[in-house]
Amino acid sequence: MAHQTDLNKVGREAFGLLEEYLRRRGPPPPPPRSNTHQYYNYAPPKNVLHSVRDPKEFDGVLIVTRRVPWRNHAGQNHYFRIIFLCSSPRLRRSSWNKRKGLNQGHDTQPAMASKMVLDLFCFTVLVLCMANPSLEQEIFDPMDFEAMGDGETDDGQALVDAWDSACEHRAPAIFVIPKRTFLAGPATFEGPCRVTPKVQILGTVKAVPSMNDYYNPGWFEFKHLNGLEIGGGGTLDGQGAASWNKTNCPPKRSCKSLPISMRLLRVSNATISNLTFMNSKGFHIGLQQSSSVTISRLRISAPADSPNTDGIHISRSDNVMLTSLNIGTGDDCISIGQGVNNLQISDVTCGPGHGISVGSLGKYMNEEDVSGVSVRNCTVSGTTNGVRIKTWPGSPPSQASNFTFEDIIMHNVSNPIIIDQHYCPDHDCVVSPSRVKIQNVTFRRIQGTSNDPVAVKLMCSETMACENVHLQDISLIMENNTATSNITSSCSNVKGVAVGLQNPESCLY
């Protein structure tokens, strides 16, 4: 296939040849208003391709219009629109002759040379239409769709209307939320699109506080999109404080979660970067059933006592990268649910919160396995856990395998290293053991301070012992105390080895 630049060049040359031919023949007389208005349109000068429609929408018929400037014998300027109907890459003489408006009062049999020009024109536009349906990028701003941008009026519908128009645009589009303060209820930005718009959040968007307005799992939902890019340096404020006392998640195992500030469902080849999230009602970001997603350079914050406000929750997704994040919330900085494969986490500053957690797993029937998670070069401060794997007791069978936690710095952390297969926050769980099989787990080069004397806890299932667990070069001491004699480790139902420096002394042999 020819390069797009070459096709555009050929198209411009074809237009030039066509216009030169028509100039030499002289302009047609103005058409009568009664019978040929559909073929002529007098308009201001605009020497550009006016519109191209996809042939598929017209059962193989391509409609092309072209505004061309003319000067009559009296020196007056006229502009008319040429319309071509092409049902094949060659212009059919019969179709051309049936439309006499263009040559009304003139010879209806163009010379062979001119017919070649028209053939080339029709063919070129057909190729351009297939390769690039529209030629101009546009910006879609909710202020052009009746948004108020005053921080008091619900502009959610205007945001959706701007997105829908950008989604239908035939060329690359930018959906821009400008530098103003917007109030918005739940909004769904759904694809697939002709070309997925780039999203630029420049201003601040605040969620409608009342829970009565929310009917979806998310506040902002992006669904069924490929190639999504979200950025801009703006802020999404979930205004969750008024709703935090309305949830029993946690500690109840059966509960209704509050809306996720940004939910990404079935997206692929996506990037989310350079944004601030704050005070979500539920999770700040939820990634579900998605693939090939990179999330970077975000700041996520909520009070340490805000319930279930995980920074980023991931489930049933693969090939995900989280990097250069600053997260402090009332729950897990990052939580990894069922069905996650090939997740890379790096350069995350976490705290306050509950640390970086795999799980909880085994809460539901038929959960998908989790495999291939790496957490590297992170700093965890003032959290109730450091790096953790947690499963519910009495869980259905599944597997969790191939985890690497390395080069982690802990500052005043409870439970810096923990596997907990007895996770039961409401203390009202079944007594049967977890049936989530945990294996191939490495904790390497983890150092810092613990505020719990049991700094390493590996508490595995009585019926599904953890296997192939490695501790390597662990250096943890009590907060505000350089002594190591009063810090310990604890293991149960775990098989593995400890190598290199071990502070505290390892319970693995």
* Active site residue ranges: 331, 354
CB 371 within 8 A of CB 348: no
Q: What is the DSSP-derived secondary structure letter of residue 353?
A: B
CB 273 within 8 A of CB 295: yes
CB 263 within 8 A of CB 222: yes
Question: Max CA-CA distance within the chain?
Answer: 106
φ, ψ for residue 352 (rounded to 5)? Answer: -75, 175
Q: Which residue has the tokens 């780039």?
A: 198
Q: Whole-angstrom Cα distance, residue 387 to residue 406?
A: 10
* DSSP string for 460-499: --SSS-EEEEEEEEEEEEETT----TT-EEEEESEEEEEE
φ, ψ for residue 307 (rounded to 5)? Answer: -80, 140
Q: Which residue has the tokens 């969750």?
A: 240
Q: Which residues of 275-296 are buried (b: 16+ CB within 10 A; e: fewer)?
A: bbbbbbbbbbbbbbebbbbbbb
CB 443 within 8 A of CB 416: no
Q: Which residue has the tokens 């291939």?
A: 372
Q: Whole-angstrom Cα distance, residue 356 to residue 292?
A: 21
CB atoms within 10 A of CB 366: 8
φ, ψ for residue 501 (rounded to 5)? Answer: -60, 135
Closest CA to 66 of 85, 88, 90: 85
Q: Whole-angstrom Cα distance, residue 179 to residue 192?
A: 27
